[in-house]
Structure 1
Amino acid sequence: MKAVSVKEIKTALSHHSQDELIKICLQLSKFKKENKELLTYLLFESENEELFIESVKKEIDEQFENVNTKTYYFIKKSVRKILKILKKYIRYSKQIETEVTLLIYFCQKLQSFNPSIQKNTVLLNIYNRELTTIKKKVLLLHEDLQYDYGLEIKKLETT
């Protein structure tokens, strides 16, 4: 089965009643965990972005606590997994400020991680890539926010 375009889906959905749309959303939520997570964000967490950010930060903390530190191989795999989860939550929000806040938090956690990421090129590259992403995103924000986040970025660059 070939998927149709978003425009065609939008047109088709406009022809359904509210009850039918509810059934479609519920059916969609049964197929993939990501669909259910996105619906949860849209229905319950999008109203309070600060609470959403805090819950994501807690999850990042838990993930970093569970990292296997025996070898850098396992550390790299875990850090990539954490970053993948983080990017998924950022896609749910679609707010640049949320993205910058969460990526800065990720970089802070990575920077303070023990053993040091300075001893591994791959981890250092991940860190630098995310720092570059943060800098690009900050330019899209309001000037006051650019200044505030600029201070955070300087802290990340100096240590």
Structure 2
Amino acid sequence: MKAVSVTVIKKELQHQSADELIKLCLRLSRFKKENKELLTYLLFESFNEDGYIASVKNYIDEEFETINTKSYFYIRKSVRKILKNIKKYIRYSQKKETEVELLLYFCQKLKDFSPNIKYSTQLQNTYNRQILLTKKAIATLHDDLQYDYNLMLEDLQA
């Protein structure tokens, strides 16, 4: 079965009643965990972006505490998992401020992590890549926010 384009889906959804839309959303939420997470964000957390950022930062803290530090292999694997989930949460929000906040927080946690990431080239590359992505995201923000976030970024790079 071939999926139709988003514009065709949008046109078809406009012809549905409110009850039918509710049934479609509930049915969609049953199939993938990501669909359910996105609906949760849209319905309960999108109105309070600061609370959403705080809950994701809490998640980051918990995940960094559970990293197995016996070898850099396990550290890299865990860091990639954390980063993958952060990117997913950023996609839900679609706000550049949220993206910058979460990436800066991730970079700070990675920089402060023990054992030090400078002994692993892959972890150092991951850190540098996220710093570059953060710089790109900061460049799209308002001038006042750019200044504030650039100060935070300079602290990370020092």
Q: Give TM-score scaled by structure 1 length.
A: 0.99
| Runs of 4+ residues over 4 Å off in structure 1 | none
Match of 1:11 in 2: 11
Residue deviations 1:50-80 (CA, integer Å, cap 9, x gap):
0000000000111101111100000000000
Match of 2:135 in 1: 135
AA of the residue aligned to 2:21: L
Identity of aligned residues (%): 63
Match of 1:113 in 2: 113
Match of 1:155 in 2: 155
AA of the residue aligned to 1:17: S
Give the 5 Å matches for 1:3-82: 3-82=3-82
Match of 2:91 in 1: 91
How many angstroms does 1:116 deviate by?
A: 0.3
**Which runs of 5 or more residues in structure 2 are unaligned?**
none
Report SS of the residue matched to 2:30: helix
AA of the residue aligned to 2:77: K
Q: 2:76, 2:44 → 1: CA distance?
A: 33
**Which runs of 5 or more residues in structure 1 are unaligned?**
none
Q: 2:66, 2:12 → 1: CA distance?
A: 45
Q: Give TM-score scaled by structure 2 length.
A: 0.99
How many angstroms does 1:11 deviate by?
A: 0.8
Residue deviations 1:12-66 (CA, integer Å, cap 9, x gap):
1111000000000000011111000000000000000000000000001111011
Q: 2:89, 2:3 → 1: CA distance?
A: 24
Question: Across the two proteins, how many residue pairs are aligned to each other?
Answer: 158
Q: CA RMSD in A?
A: 0.4
How many angstroms does 1:2 deviate by?
A: 1.0
Report SS of the residue matched to 1:141: coil
